[in-house]
Structure 1
Amino acid sequence: MNIAPSGQFAENRAGERHLQLLIECVTDYAIYMLDPTGIVSSWNAGAQRFKGYQAAEIIGQHFSRFFTPEDREAGMPQHVLATALRDGRFEAEGWRVRKDGRRFWASVVVDPIRDDDGSLVGFAKITRDITEKRETQLALEEARDALFQAQKLETIGKLTGSVAHDFNNLLQAIGSSLEMIGQRAGSHQTDIHRHLGVARSALETAGAVTQRLLAFARRQPLRPEPTDMARLVYGMAELVRRSVGEMVRVELSLADTGWICQVDPHQLESGILNLALNARDAMPGGGTLTIATANVTLPRRMLPGQTIEAGDYLMLSVSDTGIGMSADVLSRAVEPFFTTKPMGQGTGLGLSQLYGFIHQSGGFLEMESREGEGTTIKLYLPRLAGGMHHAAPGDEVVTQAPPPPPPVPQERPSILLVEDEVLIRLVLAEALTEQGYHVHQAGNGEEALPIISSGTPIDAMITDVGLPGMNGRLLAQLAHARRPRIKILFLTGYIDRADSEALPPGSALLCKPVSMVTLLARLRAVLSG
């Protein structure tokens, strides 16, 4: 049996005493011991300061009294000790209770203590009062939230101001033209064609602005189809070259065998052309525009407002060697109506429209730019499962023009027109009547149902999607239940993705504003099946 010399024993005892004095004197941390059942066996000055108990009041008591009543009911004290035994440590933050009943936010660490043979002796517990730190963090988060809300309101204010400005100008053009037409009609003058042209032009511009806003809001009607991105880019290369001019060199770097994505090809072509024109404007002295496609496999990613799932994506990038963008301009590039171009040389809706279109198509957009070094914009669209196009980009594609709409049948088809806006309903009814249709009118679904349920012949129903009360989709379902062969033509001014993805059989969808020529052609196509 080895016995330590008395001098060494004395030194060990002195060291233990010094450590005990150090722990007892610490006031910034509550440091105390628990026996294996959770009974408090030691108490330091920090524990007394945080919790309010003198050592004589608490030693021999169970440490569960420091927990809130709801935590005690949930078995939290037992969970703490069990976790420390299982994992070798318990570490967490939570509410704890002082002697006077006040709560404080604590950072807690519990470690099991074992003797030389591994037997459990008890637990060492260290607690810090971090209430002030937590309150500071919460205040900082609230300030950030308030700043974010203020910035969002500022953006919305700029957006609505820009929309109001543009539409006021358009309404002025339409109103002035109608006023001139009225004056000339009153004086029996027939020279009104120029004013009609101005009104039509303003109406078309208003429609285009609205469609771009819907694209940014991801509410535009899309017609997605399986698309080979490399093949699409190759097919429009000559159009891009003519559009950007001789001072810009256009280079293509296309994947040999492209995967297939599900996208509206016409919208994608429009987006690519818009990016090419932006690149041209960023290279006033000329430069190189590179359009590339690639097949990429990406891990799961988190982007602002969107989660990108892991998987295969088709990537299309448009790069230029132009003036580039500053960090501030880059951060605002997809904001609607934000533009760095001079007044009258751009609406600021191009990139925001592309951003909304790509997100609505299930993909995402990335931008890289440095001042003086150029800009690269990358579009990612998910690969269509099992889709692979084996034709080379240069293969010839033969397209056929769509057949003309069939003529109106000789008999008078009966149309039920459901529209809550009175002026729109009256104009549509008059136009349909002039085309030889027999028109029944209703201002909402409740007015339409009795007509549908009656014996009145109805070949087709034209209905607004956003009707008050019963919406157009529900009305269409009820109409189909009563008249399985009825045709439906939906009109909407604010499209939801579900509107275009879940149309009843034999139906079609048009987005307002729509020309009478388009509406009548679509109605004839719907009636013909």
Structure 2
Amino acid sequence: MTREQREPRQKWTRKPAAPLSETAFTLLVQGVLDYGIFMLDPHGYIISWNAGAERIKGYRASDILGQHFSVFYPPEDQASGKPQWELETAVKDGRLEDEGWRVRKDGSRFWANVVITALWDDKGVLQGFGKVTRDMSERRAAQHALSERRRLFDHLVQAQETERRRIAWDVHDDSIQAMVAVGMRLELLADQMPQTHATELRRLDASVREAITRLRSLTFRLHPPGLDRHGLVEGVSSHLEDVVGDAWGMPYSFEHQLDRDPTPETAITIFRIVQEALLNVHKHARATRVDVHVRSGDGGITTRVVDDGTGAPMGQDGSRDHFGVIEMRERAETAGGWWSMHSRPGTGTTVEFWVPNPLPVPDPVPDPAEEAP
């Protein structure tokens, strides 16, 4: 006989929770440290104070009870009548939520989330207000740091693209034109020379034309047309059609599911990584097909480039530390995302990466005290 057969399983029943007593509730509110929770009378004077309010605002209960709650507001808000307006709004709408600067006992400012709730008795008479304050300074600082990082990233991408355009124009207007002129001179000389010399000159002319083709391909990679004007989807689609389909003769597919257009800097980042991944497929994978998938998710955009090649690592001489691979990873990580490559012999290679696609970040609200001379 097993233990389960010898000992009947104990049955547990869920008992209804006892109602929280007024004393216990008061202890709960008074002991909360992360939120300042206190009450105001109908005119805005403070009639209760908890430990969280003392921690956040710096006042002991004996210092603050009986004072008007407007003492927590900066002088400019007091002058504009904001505290009274908030109480009136809470009475009209039942509650008010606000974020803004508040003042501690020592005069320092902090960024607060504030909820004011109008409290009525069973006869509909206003008894006062419940006020909950949370110090959001750390979150605001983190948001500000993220915004600054995003601005620096955008400036970096724009600077890189500006330099690429400059190089592309220089190559097109200078180097390519000079080589075209050389090719024309070689053709003329070949027509005037004996056959033995003409053959060599035509070989040189063919080499010049091949170099011109490579340079034109380089200028296209440096600054592909269409991305600035038409966005990510059109840019990737045009690149696949012109390069993968027409130039390389490789079958491909392109699927995209975007809930909104990415920012120009995000679009450039995605395009450049896709461009490098496709170039590696062409050079190293010995693939017969490539598929590109772009979709929104997790606050950003996930992109996959999948080939049916040999599955060898996409690096020069079989090394994953090839510059192109490093560049793809660094582009994604600099944008605040991630990059990975999955490869197994005989099953092809998948390059997958995600970059954030944040909504435009509003400029932070300045602290007037910091701006004062």
**TM-score (structure 2 length as normaliser):** 0.50
Quick one: structure 1 residues 54 and 157, their matched pair in 2 at CA, closer, same or farther if it must change by over 3 Å?
same
Give the conservation status (yes or no) of the 8 Å contact 2:42–2:128.
yes
Q: CA deviation at 1:62?
A: 1.9
Q: CA deviation at 1:130?
A: 2.2
Q: Counterpart in 2 of 1:33?
A: 39
Give the conservation status (yes or no) of the 8 Å contact 2:183–2:208.
yes
Q: Counterpart in 1 of 2:225?
A: 215
User: Is 1:59 matched with 2:65?
Assistant: yes
Q: Counterpart in 2 of 1:492?
A: none
Give the whole-Å Cα distance in 1 for the aligned partners of 2:34 and 2:220: 62
- Please show how residues 137-176 of structure 1 align to structure 2 within 5 Å: 137-154=143-160, 157=163, 170-171=176-177, 173-174=179-180, 176=182
> 1:281 is aligned with what amino acid?
M
User: Is 1:277 matched with 2:246?
Assistant: yes
Give the conservation status (yes or no) of the 8 Å contact 1:174–1:198.
no
Q: CA deviation at 1:133?
A: 2.8
Q: Name the structure where strand makes up a greater proportion of residues.
A: 1
User: Is 1:81 matched with 2:87?
Assistant: yes
Q: Counterpart in 2 of 1:333?
A: 274
The RMSD of aligned alpha carbons is 5.3
Cα deviations by residue, 1:52-96 (Å, 9 ceiling, x for unpaired):
333333322221221122223443223322332333322232110
SS in 1 for 2:282: coil
- Please show how residues 175-190 of structure 1 align to structure 2 within 5 Å: 176-177=182-183
Q: Counterpart in 2 of 1:94?
A: 100
Give the whole-Å Cα distance in 2 for the aligned partners of 1:278 and 1:205: 12
Q: Counterpart in 2 of 1:112?
A: 118
Task: Give identity over the alignment, percent.
Answer: 33
Give the whole-Å Cα distance in 2 for the aligned partners of 1:269 and 1:18: 68
Give the whole-Å Cα distance in 1 for the aligned partners of 2:238 and 2:145: 48
For the pair shown, which has the larger CA radius of gyration, 1 or 2? 1
Quick one: structure 1 residues 22 and 208, their matched pair in 2 at CA, closer, same or farther if it must change by over 3 Å?
closer
Quick one: structure 1 residues 338 and 75, their matched pair in 2 at CA, closer, same or farther if it must change by over 3 Å?
farther
Q: CA deviation at 1:203?
A: 8.2
Q: How many residues align?
A: 259
Give the conservation status (yes or no) of the 8 Å contact 1:40–1:59.
yes
Give the whole-Å Cα distance in 2 for the aligned partners of 1:27 and 1:125: 14
Give the conservation status (yes or no) of the 8 Å contact 1:174–1:202.
no
Cα deviations by residue, 1:163-190 (Å, 9 ceiling, x for unpaired):
65677652552464588799x7xxx999
Cα deviations by residue, 1:372-410 (Å, 9 ceiling, x for unpaired):
49xxxxxxxxxxxxxxxxxxxxxxxxxxxxxxxxxxxxx
Q: Counterpart in 1 of 2:140?
A: 134
- Please show how residues 325-364 of structure 1 align to structure 2 within 5 Å: 332-333=273-274, 340-342=281-283
Quick one: structure 1 residues 370 and 30, their matched pair in 2 at CA, closer, same or farther if it must change by over 3 Å?
same
Give the whole-Å Cα distance in 2 for the aligned partners of 1:16 and 1:291: 64
Give 5+ residue unaligned stretches, structure 1: 1-11, 221-267, 283-288, 293-297, 307-327, 344-365, 374-529
SS in 2 for 1:94: strand
User: Is 1:303 matched with 2:313?
Assistant: no
Give the whole-Å Cα distance in 1 for the aligned partners of 2:73 and 2:24: 31
Give the whole-Å Cα distance in 1 for the aligned partners of 2:263 and 2:306: 25
Q: CA deviation at 1:33?
A: 0.6
Cα deviations by residue, 1:193-243 (Å, 9 ceiling, x for unpaired):
9799999998899889878957336579xxxxxxxxxxxxxxxxxxxxxxx
Give the whole-Å Cα distance in 2 for the aligned partners of 1:177 and 1:111: 82
Q: Name the structure where helix makes up a greater proportion of residues.
A: 2
Give the conservation status (yes or no) of the 8 Å contact 2:40–2:47.
yes
Give the whole-Å Cα distance in 2 for the aligned partners of 1:339 and 1:76: 61
Give the whole-Å Cα distance in 2 for the aligned partners of 1:139 and 1:110: 29
Cα deviations by residue, 1:112-143 (Å, 9 ceiling, x for unpaired):
21212232111111112221232133223323
Give the conservation status (yes or no) of the 8 Å contact 2:171–2:215.
no
SS in 2 for 1:60: coil
Give the whole-Å Cα distance in 2 for the aligned partners of 1:277 and 1:203: 18
Quick one: structure 1 residues 24 and 205, their matched pair in 2 at CA, closer, same or farther if it must change by over 3 Å?
closer
Give the whole-Å Cα distance in 2 for the aligned partners of 1:218 and 1:143: 23
Give the whole-Å Cα distance in 2 for the aligned partners of 1:116 and 1:25: 28
Give the whole-Å Cα distance in 2 for the aligned partners of 1:370 and 1:196: 39
Give the whole-Å Cα distance in 1 for the aligned partners of 2:260 and 2:54: 46
Give the conservation status (yes or no) of the 8 Å contact 1:66–1:96.
yes
Give the whole-Å Cα distance in 1 for the aligned partners of 2:225 and 2:130: 61
Give the whole-Å Cα distance in 1 for the aligned partners of 2:117 and 2:66: 19
